[in-house]
A and B are shown apart, each in its own frame.
Chain A
Amino acid sequence: MLKKSNLILVTLGISLFAFVPNCKKGAATATLASDAASRVYVAPGEKDEVYAFLSGGFSGQMSVYGIPSARLFKIIPVFSVFPENGYGFDEETKDMLKTTHGYVPWDDSHHVEASMTDGKQDGRWVFLNANNTPRLARIDLKSFETKEILEIPNTAGNHASPFATENTEYLMAATRFSVPIPQASVAVDSFSKGGFKGTISMVKVDKNTGRLSIELQVLVPGFDYDLSRCGKKKSHDWCFFSSYNSEQAHKMLEVGASKKDKDFILAFNWVRAKECKDQGKAYNFGGEYVNNFREENKPAVSTKLSGVKMLNPKDCPGMMYYMPTPKSPHGTDVDSTGEYIVGGGKLASVIPVHSFSKMIEVKDKKEHHSTEIEGIPVLKYESTLAGEVQKPCLGPLHTEFDGQGYAYTSCFVSSEVVKWKLGTWEVVQHLPAYYSVGHLSIVGGSSTEPYGKYLIAMNKITKDRYLPVGMELPQSAQLYDISSGKAELLSDFPTVGEPHYSQMIPAKLLMDKTAKLYPLEENKHPYATKNENEARIVRLGSTIHIYMTAIRSHFKPDIIEARTGETLYFHVTNLEQDYDIPHGFAIGGAPNMTNLLIMPGETRTFKWVAPKPGVYPFYCTDFCSALHQEMQQYIRVSP
């Protein structure tokens, strides 16, 4: 007996010791693939396989990471000013942030969409939404710069945006916060009496230039439209929008909007909508909005527009159907074949999957309708259901597809990713996530041909994952290898802002197409100075235009004379034609302006009002050469 109890004690002791180190590491290593380090290691000089474009959340920007190394390459300013390179400050880019509300130098950016041709990523543009002040941006993937921003009128909270149709014919944008449309001061409790509405906007993308314009808006019942995905292949004509608060609660939404067992996924036939518009069924509707466009190496042009074509669902039968979906759905994701529409009911205990074919079969049969809301038929839940994944996890949110017949769903409440099989609806794997995962991304996962090797999970909470840095911890993303039968956690990395959504694009689609410089001979900037002999100072009354050149390692002209109160425009052209030689430009103490980074062959303008008399230095801020530190000069300001 004694011997036995000793044995038990010893065993206990050993297991205690064995667990102590593990406990210290928290949940870190238990499920990590054993050779994970070598699988994410990208040796010096080697390149990553994938570009990951992550939305910036409340930073209003977009960040670019390399996968699998998870190295941060770049922050692309989109809706927020960026002192690092002068975006939103200088004469070329300040108009990019103009809206009907004035200059709005910040936003809340949730979703990244990649342009597609025939349902496949084409590497031309990525798009980003602005949730707070409804806008939509186009980022060019040659220069990795924001080229266009379009404000969306008659909406509030541009959340279900910018989701593209199969050929990027249109981007969809829908209302998160239903509001009176047109805006008016009405009692908020009129929400539940139908006083508030939502809109779905079809934003046309010019297939050659990428230019954005509003084709049509559809006035929809005042629910909160949350996310969207457009169909592909057989479901090409359709886009699907999740909605919550079909209760139309306006107080304590937490409770009021969570009452019903089912909310809706709205199926929207955009081809039919366009048809109705062309048949004249849409009417002229108000709404002011601004379109900002920055052509390559030119100042942005901001255009104020007004009025859209508005369509009521009841005037266009066959355009919209509601599919009941449990419960407060967030994700509405279409698989790579275009057949399955997966709902992510964040309060639901199942993952419901609708069948597109079934929907088409029953949509116009009265016996499959349960009711109608403001001209939109509501289909019966069972009529369109392909199946349910039973007890997958807690809080399923968003589903991505690997193209091999498997789906991956993020589960916010239980902090995990579940892998399950399309068709059999069986869960095949639970992958822990650290912690509270929001959205997922698979390389090409929303296209018709996912590349399917990597999956990242974008998490909300990073307690105990990194060295603590005060109260605001970095958000984190986790990288999984999904190329083999069993998905494996490879690494995690802190992120900029709070990324909500991502598009990952194989490097080979982009890396050889990126621009290296702006050819000087093609520089059409109205204030360009293409060689040093043309550098000059032009006085127009109390305004001084300085046509300045920058080249290793000097500015020309170098000494500037001005009087207090005069306005100086430094039009600086970077004469370099070498890859990776930008020059910077900053003036000591300049208010209202930040640094400029001027790319080779580019012209940008720094506006400065001469302050009190003195001598003010200006200098190059981007280390350019052995004589970079000498690249400095003076402005003399006299009384």
Chain B
Amino acid sequence: MKTLLFQTLSKRNRLLILGVGLVLLAVYLIPIWSISISAPQYPEGLGMHIWINQITGATPYDLKNINLLNHYIGMQEIVSESIPELLFMPYVLGYLIFGAFVTELYPKVGMAILGIINLIFVGLVGLSDFWRWEYNYGHNLNPEAPIIIEGMAYQPPLLGCKVMLNITACSYPSYGGMILGLSLVVLVYILWDENRRKKSNVV
């Protein structure tokens, strides 16, 4: 095990790690997650993008219109400023990218494993935080809302689609999320590849 941890990465795997670091930079520029909603009165749909540092509508006016819809059920207004996670998420991403570049200087399999652990940790914390965030928005409703339906909560799905009243909400990773997922896959592949290399060396 120890030999694997300190085994130097192959030239190709080093390049892959560099690629992961560079591709992760794109996550600053594209949304990580998207929630889309459709309803009979919104045939063109409405959409919301979650970025590393902000929440926006899919069009310049979608977020405003989602909030307008939500006000009937007493959901608090969704604005980037009310989500503190968005303040430090860019640094977390920076840490991951930094890790990829450090690995270039110190190209050991252990660093790739650290990367995998980091990505899984960030992913799990991120998803549970996202769930908690959805839970709060969906459950903490204004008791004076115009529309109150006994026992009804409006928590969007973590992944997949869900029908709430006449609205279908779908939640899926966006390009940024896919890049994060792909980074994890690449790192796992590198680990598998290095392990195989080690075994063939032994033989």
The interface size bin for chain B is 10 to 19
B residues within 8 A CB of A625?
A: 72
User: Is B146 a contact of A627 with CB atoms below 8 Å?
Assistant: yes
Q: Could you say which residues of chain B place their CB within 8 Å of the CB of A626?
A: 72, 146-147
**A517: B residues at CB distance < 8 A:** 61
Contacts of A627 in B (CB 8 A): 72, 146
Q: Which residue of A lies closest to B71 (CB)?
A: A552
A577's partner among B65, B71, B72, B147 (CB-CB below 8 A) is B65
Contact of A552 among B44, B60, B68, B147 (CB under 8 A): B68
Please encode chain B, from 55 to 68, with 1 for each CB lying within 8 Å of some chain A CB and 0 for all others.
Answer: 00000110011001
Contact of B68 among A519, A551, A579 (CB under 8 A): A551
Interface readout for A367-385 with B: 1 if CB under 8 Å, 0 if not? Answer: 0000000000000000000
Residues of A contacting B60 in the complex (Cβ-Cβ under 8 angstroms): 519, 577
What CA separation (Å) do A519 and B68 show in the bound complex? 17
> In the complex, what residue of chain A is closest to B63 when comparing beta carbons?
A577
Residue A578 lies at the interface, judged by CB distance under 8 Å to chain B: yes
Contact with A along B34-71 (1 / 0, CB 8 A): 00000000001000000000000000110011001001
The chain B residue with its CB closest to the CB of A601 is B61
Q: Which residues of A contact B68 (CB under 8 A)?
A: 551-552, 576, 578
Known A626-B72, A627-B72: A578·B65 in contact at CB below 8 Å: yes
Question: How many angstroms from the CA of A551 to the CA of B61 in the assembled complex?
Answer: 14
CB distance from B58 to the nearest CB of A (A): 13
Question: Residue among B60, B68, B71, B146 with the most chain A CB within 10 A?
Answer: B68
Counting chain A residues whose Cβ lies within 8 A of the other chain, the interface size class is 10 to 19
**Binary contact track B63-93/A, C-beta < 8 Å → 1, others 0:** 0110010011000000000000000000000
Which A residues are CB-close (under 8 A) to B146?
553, 626-627, 630
Chain A residues within an 8 Å CB radius of B72 = 625-627
CA separation between A517 and B60, bound complex, in Å?
12
A630 to B71, CA, bound (A): 15
Least CB distance, A547 to chain B, in whole angstroms: 20
Bound-state CA distance A576–B61 (Å) is 9
Please give the distance in Å from A630's CB to the nearest CB on chain B.
Answer: 8
Q: Which residues of A contact B64 (CB under 8 A)?
A: 577-578
0/1 string, A550-573, CB within 8 A of B gives 1: 011100000000000000000000
Residue of B nearest to A627 (CB): B146
Distance to closest chain B CB from A523 (angstroms): 14
- What residues of B have a CB within 8 angstroms of the CB of A551 in the complex? 68
Q: How far is the CB of B193 from chain A (nearest CB, A)?
A: 50
Would B61 and A578 count as touching, CB distance under 8 A? yes
Given the complex, which residues of A lie within 8 Å of B44, measured CB to CB?
A: 579
A30 to B96, CA, bound (A): 79
Q: In angstroms, how far is the closest chain B Cβ from the Cβ of A620?
A: 15
Q: With a 10 A CB-CB cut-off, give which of A517, A552, A553, A578 has the most chain B CB atoms.
A: A578
Mask for B140-162, Cβ within 8 A of A = 1, else 0? 00000011000000000000000
In the complex, per-residue mask of A410-446: 1 if CB is within 8 Å of any chain B CB, else 0? 0000000000000000000000000000000000000
Which chain A residues border B65 with CB–CB below 8 Å?
577-578
Residues of A within 8 A of B (CB): 517, 519, 551-553, 576-579, 625-627, 630
23 A-B contacts, Cβ less than 8 Å apart? A517-B61, A519-B60, A551-B68, A552-B68, A552-B71, A553-B146, A576-B68, A577-B60, A577-B61, A577-B64, A577-B65, A578-B61, A578-B64, A578-B65, A578-B68, A579-B44, A625-B72, A626-B72, A626-B146, A626-B147, A627-B72, A627-B146, A630-B146
Closest 7 interchain pairs by CB?
A577-B61, A578-B65, A577-B64, A552-B68, A627-B146, A578-B61, A626-B72
